[in-house]
Amino acid sequence: MKNIKVIAFDADDTLFVNETYFAETEEKFCSLMSDYLSHQGISKELFKIEIDNLKLYGYGIKGYILSMIEAAMKISNNTISIEAIERIIQYGKELTEKPIVLLEGVEETLEALHGKYKLVVATKGDLLDQRRKLHNSGLGKYFHHIEVMSDKQEVDYSDLIKRLEIQPEEFFMIGNSLKSDVLPVLAIGGHAVHIPFHTTWEHEKINHKVEHKNFSSFEKITDVLSQFEN
Ligand SMILES: [Mg+2]
């Protein structure tokens, strides 16, 4: 690991809790719409609209609110009440006010690596919301740079690495999503570590095993430190 210059951390469900809040919101949305469709049917409809809208709105809360509204209109065959739309907007606003809960070992890991490597955050989502979360997390002091990416494909990582003025093999990514934090980084020649979170958004799931010389998976984020000893 002596070649590593930059260690990048995903934010949501790697540094702090996120998916849990989205899952809670989806529960509320399903209850609100339960007169029209089964819970499962509503989830499926919402997911489909969310994915279709990603290319227009990108990741994050604002796009999620618009997708819930669109799903509510579709599910209700355009008979949804203004009161229900108001509730949906409220659910979304509440998401922006959720407490920042750091995951176990995060601060200890950052403390240990800080000063030895350039640490950056590489995350998707709404710019304002991610900045707010980072600020409120108190972790800002550890990071040299916060990159809010519109997507996490190979090209997005290549751009980031160019901006950081390093080579792919000097880049080390840590995240909870194999699909967006691990696979594209390995594909361009970087190193990646997977730290699973107990819940994964449907869109981030992959159904094959990852094996690569530059890849490891650990249960806890502090386990990453073993890679950087000596
Ligand atoms: Mg994540």
Domain borders along the chain are: 6-17+101-228, 19-96
pLDDT of residue 206: 85
Cβ(119)–Cβ(146) under 8 Å? no
Please state which CATH number belongs to domain 19-96. Answer: 1.10.150.240
pLDDT, position 229 = 78
Residue pLDDT tens, the chain, 230 long: 779 999 999 999 999 999 999 999 999 999 999 999 999 999 999 999 999 999 999 999 999 999 999 999 999 999 999 999 999 999 999 999 999 999 999 999 999 999 999 999 999 989 999 999 999 999 999 999 899 998 999 999 999 999 999 999 999 999 999 999 999 999 999 999 999 998 888 888 888 889 999 999 999 999 999 998 75
How far, in Å, from the CA of 170 to the mean position of ligand 1? 22
Architecture of the domain spanning 6-17+101-228: 3-Layer(aba) Sandwich (3.40)
Distance 12 CA to ligand 1 centre (A): 4
CA dist list (Å): 46 to 21, 24, 150, 160, 174 = 16, 14, 21, 31, 29
Tell me the pairing of strands 6-9 and 171-175. parallel
- Asked, colleague to colleague, whether 6-17+101-228 and 19-96 share their fold, the answer is no
- For residue 63, what pLDDT is reported? 96
For residue 130, report the distance from its CA to the centre of ligand 1, in Å.
Answer: 12
State in Å: Cα 57 to ligand 1 middle: 18
Report how far ligand 1's centroid is from the alpha carbon of 10 (Å): 6
Q: Is 189 left (phi over 0), alpha (psi -120 to 50) or beta?
A: left
Supply the pLDDT for residue 199: 81
pLDDT at 202: 83
Closest alpha carbon to 25 in 71, 57, 56: 71
